[in-house]
Chains A and B, each alone.
Chain A
């Protein structure tokens, strides 16, 4: 699914340059569940942003299937994100003024799905994460675990190839963490997703097929 060749990412911060990733070579086959661990500042989020077509590497090549994400213009990267990639964030990142259902619908907006079908698919996605009865609640009326379920429904409603999650359980208690992980694992298995989860939590990482360690911008395999 993903091929990374000699990928480096440096950030310029007033005169100073910070190397977030240095010469990363990596392949992630379709359908793999990968956990990325490592100390803070190690480059995990940076890697996820490159995988998620949110940013381009400073040098090297990032390919998703046939598309070269390091070479596409901004607008085309947006299309790739809209079609093929689902994101789940640590902070849930729901739109506070929209209901759960409407939040899920936002993912279908860039795809030009007609209103009726949009509503139907969003309702189905909410039901698949067990929140069918909370469709008309705004995020403020939902618990953290419920908000993350809405976010997962939003990520999956467009039926993407890839699901990228940056610390999806970082803001949740242990029991909710396990519920969310059960949910993600189930969806991964059922849908044949390629799932990359960044986590500090070894309990989460242990459930992955493959574990990567990122330290000072360098990737090593674990197991």
Chain B
């Protein structure tokens, strides 16, 4: 009887069933999509951080740039051209120049490499490796014949922009370069890449002028394994190309070179800019952070969580959008759907006063009638849940088909702004600029469980309230309303 009545009721009152189920479906689909996208954003953030610091990095040590004190700030980008660097055109009107310089990445600050040993000696540190992030700025072009033909310093506008003087044209390109310990592959940026062509760096490369390039960068620059590139005036042999192990992210740097060579060429002997630290276990991260901070009073120690908060750019915007707007929107729509289901159920019970009164008059118990109403609502909820699941999967598929690419940059910490023109507080601005993440919305078991759970919850809630209303009907009253 229960199932016959249930079936007849839902089929006989199709419009109500459809409205309640549709409301529920919409809400559940929205919750699913928001949930999947936020999972995707979280994964993208993790991928973005991994590409910078490597897989398995729990903590990073860096140093905020110090404000330029008594003329002793970070050097501006300044090329020094001597006469011998240029080839004057035949007619004598222009001079062709080509030069490159390797400098610390904007916004990054270096500190003594001995810090690495200090970090390694801290309790609970499983592994640590140091990197030096640099920017290679290459100048290539022609200038009008220098007046007087004397040596001249040419101060350049922002790197990366092409530009021109009257009568001349030049090209400035910047490449991000990371000096890494070629022997360390457990932690550090190279743990998040895989070799596409040639080989990676290994212990034998220490002291060698060899470079591993990001595969995309190599392609766009027309470089291949065996070619040479000029970094800071030194010729490096390209021994391999690499790509991010995460399909969702690009590598953090255009080029990787051995740390000692990077220090030498950039003139930053004995200096590093970041240390990636792996804790012995996840539960020790907190205590390792505290110990590192005590051991390294001048450096900043950040956990991956701290860093995730600094990821901004369109990924940061997406993350905020999902966590604020997406969450509220889905809560609001869900509340509306539950309300619709409850109101329709109550309205249905009111409309069926005579029906339930009659059933009570012929001996149906309150429990039996409450169960019937609850069963109807539950099935409506489940129908909505099933439709919502389909709708949600379609929505998620659409997100994945669009697969928006999000750029990540770290938010310059306003309170700790570095010197004007430099990125500011975060040490990995330079690398961040090149990190791009493709947003995907994964369908997880959680998403499906969430949809089904909400459907059941909504159905039971409406059914409980409707059933309770039905149980309040007194049979005599119910029959009186018949007249």
Contact = CB atoms under 8 A, between A and B. Distances in A.
Q: Are A and B associated in one complex?
A: yes
Number of chain A interface residues as a range: 35 or more
A89 B358 contact: yes
B55 to A, nearest CB: 61
Chain B interface helix/strand/loop/mixed: helix
Interface stretch (A29-37, A90-98, A193-201, A205-213): A90-98
30 contacts: A49-B476, A54-B476, A55-B474, A55-B475, A78-B365, A81-B360, A82-B362, A82-B364, A86-B362, A89-B479, A89-B482, A91-B483, A93-B355, A93-B357, A93-B358, A95-B359, A96-B355, A97-B5, A97-B9, A97-B12, A102-B1, A105-B4, A106-B1, A106-B359, A106-B362, A106-B364, A107-B362, A109-B364, A115-B1, A138-B12
A115 B11 CA distance: 21
Contact of A102 (B8, B360, B363): B8
B12 A109 contact: no
Contacts of A81: 360-363
Given A49-B476, A54-B479, A97-B8, A75 B358 contact: no
A99 B11 CA distance: 13
B354 interface: yes
Contact of B362 (A75, A115, A154): A154
A90 B361 contact: no
B352 to A, nearest CB: 9
Nearest to B11: A97
Interface in A54-113: 54-55, 74-75, 78-79, 81-83, 86-87, 89-91, 93, 95-99, 102, 105-107, 109-111
B469 interface: no
A216 interface: no
B354 A93 contact: yes
Given A78-B360, A106-B5, 20 more contacts: A52-B361, A54-B475, A78-B364, A81-B363, A87-B361, A89-B358, A89-B479, A93-B354, A93-B357, A95-B358, A97-B11, A99-B8, A102-B1, A106-B1, A106-B362, A106-B364, A109-B368, A110-B364, A111-B363, A138-B12
A203 B60 CA distance: 100
B5 A98 contact: yes
Interface in A142-181: 154-155
A25 interface: no
B199 interface: no
Nearest to A151: B358
Contact of A109 (B1, B354, B475, B480): B1
A45 interface: yes
Interface of B: 1, 4-5, 8-9, 11-13, 354-355, 357-366, 368, 474-476, 479-480, 482-483
Nearest to B365: A78
A111 B1 CA distance: 12
B480 A45 contact: yes
Nearest to B360: A78
Contacts of B359: 95, 106
Nearest to B475: A54
